[in-house]
């Protein structure tokens, strides 16, 4: 107990450390217990982070902030209108068509796999292939049912979608417009001695902002290039597969493997095991390699130096706690922990107690 008491006194005798721990605890409890209710607020903050960069760029060219905010916000509303009127209907249509074709895809995959024992009898047995095809067929049909249920659930939650469409843009506008006032109000609520909190927040704000902006740009670029590549190959559901490929960058390493399945499945069903199938899989592979080794380091160079084990661990941990937003913010949350560790004040080593004479 003396050791625990000494450790606690050593680390928490500093009021700034106590303040930092209290703020982290409040933020953690708030997100854990109020995540669902705070989802529109979190979404608005993410969007405001992205839109703050073009707003500041316009200000740097001499425009007043309120004009810059209005111009950027009108551009944001235009993108929402394009998404609702053009992109989402196309993706919804292709998703419905894909769900309808899944049973046929399962049959096609089964036929192709059953031909393997005849071609390579020394490598593959017929019973092994039958077991594998049964499992794959079941998984594909379950996937179709889940996608169909997801669509029905989204339609049933139409009121929530409408609330998001009005509430999130409303919040985004005021986050942009009153950024300075909001920051000043938050600072007034904190004690004057907050050097440690300010240091951590500066690091977190810089890296989180860079991550969010970089990821949004990365999704757009990867999705657009994927759509172009799949369209040139005349691959079915090119827009839907491109959207999935773009979103796959949200989950480093894991997303690449997961999205490769529908891409390969659609190509296999459409082209069979041939050169066109290899080309489709090759295009997907090249895009992901270029993203991982060139685009991502270029856009988010400040935080891609995390070890892959740390990234995957953060995704599993925070995704299990907070779902989608935990996955989205897994990497910046890992950098938060590193920022806290780097800013934590050094403590003097406690000398060992002398043995009783």
Q: pLDDT per residue over 77-125, tens digit each?
A: 998 898 888 888 888 888 888 877 877 777 777 777 777 677 767 666 6
Looking up tokens 């070890």 gives 307
The number of residues in the chain equals 357
Q: Are 218 and 299 in contact (CB under 8 A)?
A: yes
C-alpha span between 151 and 140 (Å, rounded): 17
pLDDT per residue rounded down to tens, the chain (357 residues): 666 666 666 666 667 777 777 877 887 777 667 766 777 888 888 888 888 888 988 998 888 988 999 999 999 999 889 888 888 888 888 888 887 787 777 777 777 777 767 776 766 666 776 777 777 766 666 666 665 555 545 444 555 667 778 888 999 999 998 888 888 887 787 777 777 777 877 777 777 777 778 888 889 999 999 999 999 999 999 999 999 999 888 877 778 888 898 898 889 888 887 899 999 999 999 999 998 888 887 777 655 556 667 777 877 887 777 776 677 777 777 777 777 777 776 654 444 444 444
Q: Contact 218/296 with Cβ under 8 angstroms?
A: yes
Please give the model's pTM, rounded to 2 decimal places.
Answer: 0.73
């Amino acid at each position: 107990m003396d050791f625990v008491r000494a450790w606690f006194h050593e680390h928490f005798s500093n009021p700034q450390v106590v303040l930092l721990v209290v703020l982290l605890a409040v933020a953690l409890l708030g997100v854990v217990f109020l995540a669902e209710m705070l989802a529109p607020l979190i979404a608005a903050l993410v969007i405001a982070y992205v839109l703050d960069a073009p707003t500041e760029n316009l200000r740097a060219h001499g425009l007043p902030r309120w004009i810059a905010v209005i111009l950027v916000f009108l551009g944001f509303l235009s993108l929402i209108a394009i998404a609702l009127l053009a992109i989402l209907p196309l993706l919804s249509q292709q998703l419905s068509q894909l769900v309808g074709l899944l049973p046929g895809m399962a049959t096609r995959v089964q036929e192709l796999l059953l031909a393997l024992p005849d071609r390579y009898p020394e490598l593959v047995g017929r019973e092994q292939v039958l077991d594998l095809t049964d499992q794959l067929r079941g998984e594909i049909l379950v996937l179709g049912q889940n996608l169909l249920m997801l669509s029905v659930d989204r339609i049933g939650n139409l009121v929530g979608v409408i609330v998001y469409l009005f509430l999130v843009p409303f919040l985004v506008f005021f986050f942009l417009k009153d950024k300075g006032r909001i920051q000043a109000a938050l600072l007034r609520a904190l004690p004057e001695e907050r050097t440690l909190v300010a240091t951590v927040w500066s690091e977190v704000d810089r890296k989180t902002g860079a991550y969010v902006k970089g990821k949004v740009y990365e999704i757009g670029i990867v999705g657009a290039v994927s759509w172009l590549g799949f369209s040139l190959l005349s691959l079915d559901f090119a827009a839907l597969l491109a959207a999935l490929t773009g979103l796959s960058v949200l989950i480093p390493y894991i997303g690449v493997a997961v999205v490769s399945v529908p891409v390969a499945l659609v190509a296999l069903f459409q082209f069979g095991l041939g050169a066109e199938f290899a080309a489709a899989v090759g295009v997907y592979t090249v895009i992901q390699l270029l993203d991982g080794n060139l685009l991502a380091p270029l856009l988010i160079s400040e935080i891609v130096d995390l070890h892959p084990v740390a990234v995957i661990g953060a995704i599993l941990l925070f995704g299990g706690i907070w779902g989608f937003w935990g996955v989205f913010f897994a990497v910046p949350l890992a950098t938060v922990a590193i920022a806290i560790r780097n800013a934590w004040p050094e403590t003097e080593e406690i000398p060992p107690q002398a043995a009783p004479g």
